[in-house]
Amino acid sequence: MDKYYVDFKEGEIPKYITIAKHIKKLIDGNKLEDGEKLPSIRSLAILLEVNNVTIVNAYKKLQGDGYAFQKMGSGTYAKRKDINKSFKKEYSEVLKKIAGERLKEYIDFTGETPFSNFFPVASFKDVLNEVLDRDGAEALVYQEALGYEGLRKSISEVFWQDRVHSDDILIVSGAQQGIDIISKALINNNDTVVVEKPTYSGALSVFKWRRADILELPIEKDGVDVEKFEKLLKKNKIKCFYTMSYFQNPTGMTYSIEKKEKILRLAEIYDFYIIEDDYLSELIYDESIEYKSFKSLDKNDRVIYIKSFSKIFLPGIRIGYLIAPLKFKESIQNSKVNTDISTSSLMQRALDLYIKEGRWKEYINNLKLVYKERYILMEKYLRKYLGDKVSFISPGGGLHFYLKINNSNEVDSIELFRKAKEKKVLITPGTLFYKVPSDGREYFRIGFSQADENSMEKGVKIIGNILE
């Protein structure tokens, strides 16, 4: 009964509302099971030293808010709401509603891609014109299913130093399509997939759609716990492990090379495959972080590698690529053909030329300089204005920070999102990144890609005031 105890504060809030709010937090925090019987009206009234009517009103409010149900003659029972469905829809509708011109009224900390103002429009326009002059109408027709051969050769040469053959590279329309194609080719109903906890919501959606059995492994500072992973593998036959190896979305964590090598050994021993989503690895600010992907360390053809140019370059271009193990090469290529036949021919040719002429490397170097400054500033503002209200680990790269609210008994991330939105600040609550949404109510992601220095400081100040 101790968990039901409420410390009433003097003020205008009625006691029954305080009681109902406390029980909601017990339910959302997994401290009350779905369907667990709540204390009788009389016993809870005695514990909290209030009259029976106060408890009756608290239980009625819980029922009205969808957090409890009553069985005639038996009592009142806890009911866990599917906050992911309802809030995911709310979050999506908010972003749609304020998209375009209205978004300029807000300080946007939700962005996952570089600010469009940094995109070298004039340079890319020159490349597009050069492609059209060189190739004419041929630049606008469908390419072979694997993608434009020139681009595949450039990727092989520039990014893999020819260690990967161009015929093993498949061009896709971004990382999300890559995950979808792989899932269609590999994952069947009730196959087991292991994901990081928390993880990218788009990947969770795909695996749920494939009706996979999803198991979660908590992510630590240098990747998932390998010992827990092996214990899980001894009890379960898994098909694949989905990971974001650099600046993981949402936590910002990066795998150590040691953990990568251990997980690759586990993949060989327990016969599963690693889906590596190489996310934002170009934006390394901390020089102690060494770039070595799972794929580059893979000696047994256990890694399915996905890379998106959309995240780091320009979302509208929608180009990425994947490299599949020989065993799945044909089935994954067939899955791509059945999905959309071909990715934009003109954009593939333009990106190929952009990479060949060294413009890609120049663009990335400039972007790193700009965002390293913003990263340092954002970290400074978080420590200055949020202080002990939150805790976080500095990721050393990428475009966001993942924060844990220390005063979680007062404000959770959904409430923070709503209150910040009213003050024209947008954040991303952690509930969107968990299989069980309530696991993420203490966390939120804050990105710095879309806000300038003044906006960053102002926005973080507002968040700090809400968390007071």
Domain interval for residue 128? 121-360
Domain assignment present for residue 107? The answer is: yes
Q: Is residue 19 located within the same domain as residue 137?
A: no
Alpha-carbon span 162 to 160, nearest angstrom: 5
The CATH number for 212's domain is: 3.40.640.10
Q: Which residue has the higher pLDDT, 76 or 409?
A: 76
From the centroid of its chain, how far is CA 125?
32
Domain assignment present for residue 462? The answer is: yes
- pLDDT of 2: 79
Q: Is residue 131 located within the same domain as residue 279?
A: yes
Q: Residue range 384-413: average pLDDT?
A: 89
- Give the confidence band of 34 by pLDDT, cuts at 50, 70, 90: confident
Tell me which residue of 290, 243, 251, 246 sits closest to 267, measured CA to CA. 243
Weakest-pLDDT range from 101-115, 237-251, 315-329, 375-389: 101-115
Res. 81: pLDDT tops 70: no
Q: Give the whole-number percent of the chain exceeding pLDDT 90.
A: 62
Q: Is residue 255 located within the same domain as residue 354?
A: yes
Weakest-pLDDT range from 58-72, 80-94, 174-188, 448-462: 80-94
Q: Residue range 277-301: average pLDDT?
A: 95
Q: Is residue 172 located within the same domain as residue 131?
A: yes
Which of 360, 391, 426 finishes a domain? 360
Domain assignment present for residue 433? The answer is: yes
- Give the confidence band of 339 by pLDDT, cuts at 50, 70, 90: confident
Res. 343: pLDDT tops 80: no
Residue type, 5: Y
- Give the confidence band of 140 by pLDDT, cuts at 50, 70, 90: confident
Consecutive H or E run containing 415: helix 413-422
Residue type, 312: I
Res. 132: pLDDT tops 60: yes
The CATH number for 403's domain is: 3.90.1150.10
Which of 360, 395, 416 finishes a domain? 360
Contact residues for 372 (Cβ-Cβ < 8 A; gap 6+)? 285
Q: Residue range 311-330: average pLDDT?
A: 86
Contact (CB, 8 A) for 359 and 127 = yes
Alpha-carbon span 240 to 358, nearest angstrom: 36
Domain assignment present for residue 59? The answer is: yes
Weakest-pLDDT range from 95-104, 180-189, 378-387: 95-104
Domain assignment present for residue 8? The answer is: yes
Q: Is residue 66 located within the same domain as residue 198?
A: no
Q: Is residue 347 located within the same domain as residue 366?
A: no
- pLDDT of 82: 58
Q: Is residue 307 located within the same domain as residue 451?
A: no
The pTM (predicted TM-score) of the whole model is 0.82
- Give the confidence band of 143 by pLDDT, cuts at 50, 70, 90: low
- pLDDT of 342: 64
Q: Is residue 404 located within the same domain as residue 258?
A: no
The CATH number for 73's domain is: 1.10.10.10
- Give the confidence band of 24 by pLDDT, cuts at 50, 70, 90: confident
Q: Residue range 98-116: average pLDDT?
A: 83
Q: Is residue 59 located within the same domain as residue 94?
A: no
Q: Is residue 100 located within the same domain as residue 58?
A: no
- pLDDT of 407: 65
- Mean pLDDT value across the chain: 90
- Give the confidence band of 4 by pLDDT, cuts at 50, 70, 90: confident
Contact (CB, 8 A) for 350 and 314 = no
Q: Residue range 13-25: average pLDDT?
A: 88
Domain assignment present for residue 116? The answer is: no
Res. 331: pLDDT tops 90: yes
Q: Which residue has the higher pLDDT, 161 or 88?
A: 161
Q: Residue range 333-341: average pLDDT?
A: 80
- Counting the structural domains of the chain, the total is 3
- pLDDT of 116: 74
- Give the confidence band of 365 by pLDDT, cuts at 50, 70, 90: very high
- pLDDT of 468: 82
Q: Is residue 167 located within the same domain as residue 253?
A: yes
Most confident by average pLDDT, 70-74, 305-309, 448-452: 305-309
- The pLDDT tens digits of the residues spanning 214-268 come to 999 999 999 999 999 999 999 999 999 999 999 999 999 999 999 999 999 999 9
Which of 53, 78, 103 finishes a domain? 78
Q: Is residue 93 located within the same domain as residue 166?
A: no
Res. 338: pLDDT tops 90: no
Domain assignment present for residue 197? The answer is: yes
Domain assignment present for residue 455? The answer is: yes
